[in-house]
Amino acid sequence: MVSQEYPYSRGILLSGSLAAGTFSVKSDIDLIVITDRDELIDSSIRYKRYNFDIVGGSINTLVKLIHDDCTIRRGVYAHMVGHSKGSSSFQVGSLRSSLPRIR
């Protein structure tokens, strides 16, 4: 489904309650899509009987999103990334330390 919607994706991380092991029947499925494009993906899709919340972009785009989210809001995206599982799973700190400083 994600590869059809975002053919330029490079990796997909499962995050949120499903990745944290607290998923319930009422939960949505949170995905983080890593791409090679700087544009932000922020969408909700209903597929079969599940609701998917999808956030994505390049690593730089995602780091800026998390930084801004922690500065302005409650850190929702940082929490989402902190509960991610996938072939490219990472923690916010290691992601941030591997990239140039955000201005």
User: Tokens standing for 52?
Assistant: 């998917």
Residue extents of the structural domains in the chain:
2-96
CB 31 within 8 A of CB 39: no
Give the other-Cβ count within 10 Å of 56's Cβ. Answer: 25
pLDDT digits (tens, 9 = 90+) for 75-92: 666 666 655 554 343 444
Please compute the mean of the pLDDT values over residues 42-70 and round it to a whole number.
87
Domain 2-96 has CATH 3.90.190.10: no
pTM for this predicted structure: 0.69
Asked if residue 33 lies in contact with residue 12, where contact means CB atoms within 8 angstroms, the answer is: yes
Question: Within 13 Å of residue 45, how many CA atoms lie on the same side as its CB?
Answer: 14
Q: For strand 29-35 and strand 50-57, is the pairing parallel, antiparallel, or unpaired?
A: parallel
Give percent of the chain with pLDDT exceeding 70: 70
